[in-house]
Amino acid sequence: MRRKTCSNEKFIVIHKDRFISKDVESLKDFVRETRKVTLSQDRKLYGVEMRVEPNYPILGKKASAKVKSIIQQIRDMTDEDIEKLLSKDQNEDPLTTIDNVLIESEGIHIVYRIINVETIQQQEQQQHTYNSIDSIYQGYINILLYQIDFLNRYIIEQYHLFNNQLQELRQIFIYELEQQRQAFNRELERQQEMFNNEIVKLLIDNMLDKINE
């Protein structure tokens, strides 16, 4: 038997249970030509409204004279009231009680409808805008990271250059200091030698004077 597939550009599943995605994945063979599959737990994000509609034949038999009041109260249920009904187990009856009448799952229908078709398009356009902004920011970040990297390399190069120059100056300073020390020692030795010669000369002159006396 040939399997039928549906072809849609977009496929959106809205369910309060995030684990429903596993069931959606089992349908991938049927939506394989779909370009985009979106899973969401927020029906309001896509403009989906839910309301409760009474099952007239069932409620008419159970409520009799109260049916008009009960139907109105069912239609006036808020989202919070409907969420409480949905939170109950499928086999859990009654779902609620209105005017002392038990309301079971067969007595109502929960209806979903899109109240604003443009909401989905606006949401997707907004997401596209966010993605574009993210791309722009990412571009700026990449440029900034490149500039930081360039600056780091420049600082490292300047540090090595400065360190090399400092080493050269240190070697020059040590060399000049050594030259001055050697020159000082040579001058000191020369002065010491001259002093010694003068002492020797004075001693000799003194000895000669004593001999002549």
Torsion, Cα 21 26 31 35, to 10 degrees, reads: 40
pTM over 0.85: no
C-alpha 164 chain-centroid distance: 42
- Three-class SS state of 102: strand
Of the listed ranges 12-26, 164-178, 184-198, the one predicted with least confidence: 12-26
Cβ–Cβ < 8 Å for 103, 96: yes
Q: Which residues pair with 38 in a beta bridge?
A: 12
pLDDT digits (tens, 9 = 90+) for 86-108: 777 766 777 888 888 888 888 88
Between 147 and 49, the more confident residue is: 147
pLDDT for 87 equals 79
pLDDT digits (tens, 9 = 90+) for 15-64: 555 555 566 656 655 555 555 666 666 666 666 777 888 888 888 788 77
Between 40 and 182, the more confident residue is: 182
Which residue reads 């907004």 in tokens?
126
pLDDT for 2 equals 45
Closest CA to 33 of 51, 54, 6: 6
Cβ neighbours for 67, distance < 8 A, ≥ 6 positions apart: 59, 60
Between 11 and 6, the more confident residue is: 11
**Tokens representing residue 184 in the block:** 């000082």
Measure the CA–CA gap between 24 and 28, rounded to whole angstroms.
7
Cβ neighbours for 11, distance < 8 A, ≥ 6 positions apart: 31, 34, 36, 37, 38
Work out the end-to-end distance of the chain between its first and last CA atoms, rounded to an integer number of angstroms. Answer: 153
Of the listed ranges 53-57, 68-72, 90-94, 154-158, the one predicted with least confidence: 90-94
Between 32 and 2, the more confident residue is: 32
pLDDT for 126 equals 72
